[in-house]
Structure 1
Amino acid sequence: MQSSRRDRKREQTRQHILAEARRLFLAQGFERTTVLQIAEAADVAVQTVFNHAPSKEALFFLGRIPYLEAMTRPVDPTGDRTAAEVLVAQLAEQTLGYLRSLEDPDNLAMAAQVDSSPALAQYERTLLAHSEGDLAAVLEEQVPGVDGWLAAALLVAITRTHAYVQRRRIIGGTPPAEVLASLERDLPRHLNAVLEVATRAEPDLADLPDTMRVIAET
């Protein structure tokens, strides 16, 4: 019981820090906000902030990239769907959910900061690059016959590019519903295509459509 209370207290503190950080990021921007300001706003020590996030960039992104989280958790096949089908569905659903969340003005403002801040853009790329190893391990264990590292690299590249490009369209004023209409069709198809190539005995990126091959090779 004592441990449970401690866990709840820690989670409450974490959520409070995140809420205050988000408020400050929205009010004055990522670059102008300091960890000291966040700690003071949350009425905690600076070290307490770092106990929950190792950097200001990490604090900004906590819980903000759902499609990355979908890459790093084990796949749970259900019904008649294979692990590969479930993985594709998870990546597509989380990416679409992220873009759909940009209908909220505050979420859109936070996303725009990522595009305008070199530090945030670089941190986002680093997070996605680190996710490749976790995704490769999931693929090797749960998807028979796949080249885990190749498939992970391709899936991350395709997901990242779709998310980046469509996010920029929404930031630029394109209605999210317009973006989602085409992405709901294209993203699962593209993810399935790269998985199919990565499962072959002799994978060849030349078998991907031209636009997807350009994405995969970047």
Structure 2
Amino acid sequence: AYTCGLYDFEEMKFLIDYLRPGDIFGDFGANVGVYTALAGSLEAIVLAAEPVPDTFTRLQENFRLNSVKGQAIRCGLSDFRGKLGFTSTLGGMNRVATSVDTETTEVNVLTVDELVAETNLQPKVVKIDVEGFELPLLRGNTRLLPNLAAIIIELNGSGKKYGYSDDDVHKFLISSSFSCFDYLPRTRKLQPRNEYQQSKFNSLYINLRMLDEIRLRLEEN
């Protein structure tokens, strides 16, 4: 991050312009915690979830090194509570294991709603990067979803291996009163778009019920 700067520039700048000290940020599929560290630098409180043991250890260390307030939880996120196998040798691309994966580790999974209830941390914004398992995560997020201002989500076709498409995720979010926007950092404006981002991994979804409030907050700095 120090070398490359804000490599997800529009999404990271959205966080910088939107988050305030004391806001809660959810980093779901946190990996080693780049978004976690960014949110922590803004004095936000972070709820981070990462399932893979080695990666989780590095996430915890980045919490410490960056003095991030909040909690890091080692778990997967789905639409049920139980256990799932995860790959363990793919680094930042580790994901829910399929029948063809051999080097795997069993991980506890729960829903986002359960995670929020157990930690008493309710995010205003979440970043979701779960390598194709976005739809089950969102389906386990029904109580939190109406209270979220924004979702930054990686959609890159990875859901096909689990029988989901990016269109399925998009339709789910649209049906939940979210819509896709581009963030224009120079003007701090949100520009509606008809579809999720297909030319890059991340898409920004805004809760339409909070749109006016979000726009005012972005412009007030």
TM-score (norm: length of structure 2):
0.24
Q: Name the structure with the higher helix share.
A: 1
Q: Which has the higher strand share?
A: 2
Larger Rg: 1
